[in-house]
Amino acid sequence: MKTFIICIQTLCGKITPVGFGSEEDRRFLEMWRERTNATLLGAGSLRAGDPEFRDTSGRIPEKRIRAIVTMSGRLPLEKNIFNRGPAPIVFCAQDVSDSLRRHLGGRAEIVAVRKRGDNELDLSQVSAILQDKGVNSLLVEGGGRLNYFCLKQGIVDEILVTVAPKLLTSNRETPLVDGDQNLGSPFLDLEFISCKCHPKTGELFLRYKVIKGKNSG
C-alpha cells in the first residue's frame, strides 16, 4: 500500500482558513483522487466543512472508498458524505462503535480498531483493513492532526503539498502537521521528488518522499 498526504498550505505552513487554493490546485487534488483508491479524512475536517471527494468530472466515484477517523465519535449526520455517494467507512475505537452505529444507521460502515494511547487509533491497522478491501493507494486529505498521526505512526510514503503565495500572522490557524512531539530529532527528513510551478497563480506543486527510519539531529 502506498500512502500520500495531500494538502495546500500558505508560505508560512498553515492549512487554514480554507479556500485559498486556485482552480489549478482543485484539479490537482481531484486528479490525485483518480490515481488512488481511497481517501482518509480526520473528523475535524468533516466537522469544519462538507467534503464529498469528487473527481475531475465532478462525480463521486461509486467504487472509491471514503474513510473518516474519529476518536470522539462526533460525526454530524447531515454532512453530505453520509447522504450522497457510497456509504463511507468510519474508523473508531471499540468504546464508541455501538453508539456510532446507532447514530449513523446504515449510512456508514463502522469499523472498530485498536487504540495507541488515549487519543489515537492505530493507523497501521486502518491501512491493513483498507488493503484487505482492495486499496493499494491511499490519499490522506488532512487535516493537520490526522497528518501528524499518520507521519508519527510511519504510514506515509509521500507528501504532495501545494504552496500558495500567501502569508498570515495568526497563530490560531492549523499547520500542515499539528502535533505535540517532534517527528524526528528534531526534523523528519524528506527527499525531493518534483516541483512544478504554476506561474499564473504563483502556486508551487511540491512532491516529497518521506525518509523512514532516519531521524535528523
Ligand X SMILES: NC(=O)c1ccc[n+]([C@@H]2O[C@H](COP(=O)([O-])OP(=O)(O)OC[C@H]3O[C@@H](n4cnc5c(N)ncnc54)[C@H](OP(=O)(O)O)[C@@H]3O)[C@@H](O)[C@H]2O)c1
Residues that bind ligand X (CB under 6 A): 7-8, 15-16, 18, 42-45, 48-49, 69-72, 74, 120-121, 123, 141-146, 149, 174, 178
Nearest distance, CB of residue 29 and ligand X, angstroms: 8
Nearest distance, CB of residue 142 and ligand X, angstroms: 3
Maximum C-alpha span of the chain: 51
Nearer of residues 159 and 216 to ligand X, judged by Cβ: 159
Nearer of residues 44 and 216 to ligand X, judged by Cβ: 44
Nearer of residues 135 and 146 to ligand X, judged by Cβ: 146
Strands of 158-164's sheet in order across = 109-112, 89-92, 65-69, 38-42, 137-140, 2-10, 158-164, 203-216, 187-198
Nearer of residues 37 and 174 to ligand X, judged by Cβ: 174
Q: Distance between terminal CA atoms of the chain?
A: 29
* C-alpha grid cell, residue 42: 480526520
Percentages helix, strand, coil for the chain (3-state, rounded to 5) are 25, 30, 45
Nearest distance, CB of residue 35 and ligand X, angstroms: 17
